């Protein structure tokens, strides 16, 4: 029997992030096994990279790093039974998807939508900046196509900007990142450690 979810972990993710795809597809089940609730926090890496003096993802700037990452993703998705397709272009523009993730209030629908977007991007190789792709993701989780209009609401735009500023203030420099209280963990390979700590506090 699963424990009641009284403890929490914050999952900070960017839709363009390959390793965030890995975490998004397993975090809820893993957290539930330890009685931990997941808080989903979309943000944008672009402003954070810019503050680091980067105008692109390090995986594109450093070819050796990029080649390693793509091979690593092939290995890890195969191990976990996930479909993986390299998206083109990379990185994807996840701005509208991130705004929608903030706009969706129902937590189960929010989580399902996030997974649907990641699947469209990294399993099907679709462009998640395309409205039709996002509408498909919305309708898959029982939300109306008109939900897409919330991308243009000033309050939602401002909320995403604030999310990114909050991520910077918390010392987040990449995705996926996990916060348990003030303790920061970076990378899909640190998810298990973060969940373990969340279960103990």
Q: Which residues are catalytic?
A: 17
CA 135 to chain centre: 18
Residues 6+ positions from 34 with CB-CB distance below 8 Å: 3, 7, 195, 196, 198, 199
Of the candidates 58, 55, 128, 50, the one whose C-alpha atom is nearest the C-alpha of residue 87 is: 128
Token pair 């189960």 in the structure block, residue? 108
The 8 Å CB, 24+ separation contacts for 187-195 are 187/19, 188/19, 188/20, 188/22, 188/23, 188/76, 191/23, 191/26, 191/27, 191/30, 192/30, 194/9, 195/9, 195/27, 195/30, 195/31, 195/34, 195/36
Burial class of residue 39 (count of CB atoms within 10 Å of its CB; 0-12, 13-18, 19+): exposed
């Amino acid at each position: 029997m699963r424990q009641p979810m009284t403890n929490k972990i914050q999952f900070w993710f960017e839709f363009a992030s390959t390793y965030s795809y890995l975490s998004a597809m397993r975090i809820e089940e893993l957290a539930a096994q330890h009685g931990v609730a997941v808080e989903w926090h979309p943000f944008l890496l672009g402003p954070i990279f810019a503050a680091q003096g980067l105008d692109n993802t390090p995986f594109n700037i450093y070819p050796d790093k990029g080649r390693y990452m793509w091979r690593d993703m092939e290995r890890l998705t195969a191990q976990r039974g996930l479909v993986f397709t390299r998206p083109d272009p990379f990185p994807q523009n996840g701005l509208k998807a991130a705004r929608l993730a903030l706009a969706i209030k129902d937590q189960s629908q929010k989580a399902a939508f996030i997974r649907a977007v990641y699947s469209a991007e990294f399993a099907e190789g679709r462009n998640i900046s395309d409205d039709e792709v996002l509408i498909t993701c919305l309708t898959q989780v029982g939300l109306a196509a008109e939900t897409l209009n919330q991308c243009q609401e000033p309050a939602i735009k401002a909320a995403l900007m604030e999310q990114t500023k909050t991520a910077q203030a918390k010392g987040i420099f990449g995705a996926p990142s996990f916060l348990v209280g003030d303790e920061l963990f970076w990378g899909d390979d640190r998810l298990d450690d973060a969940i373990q700590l969340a279960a103990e506090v």
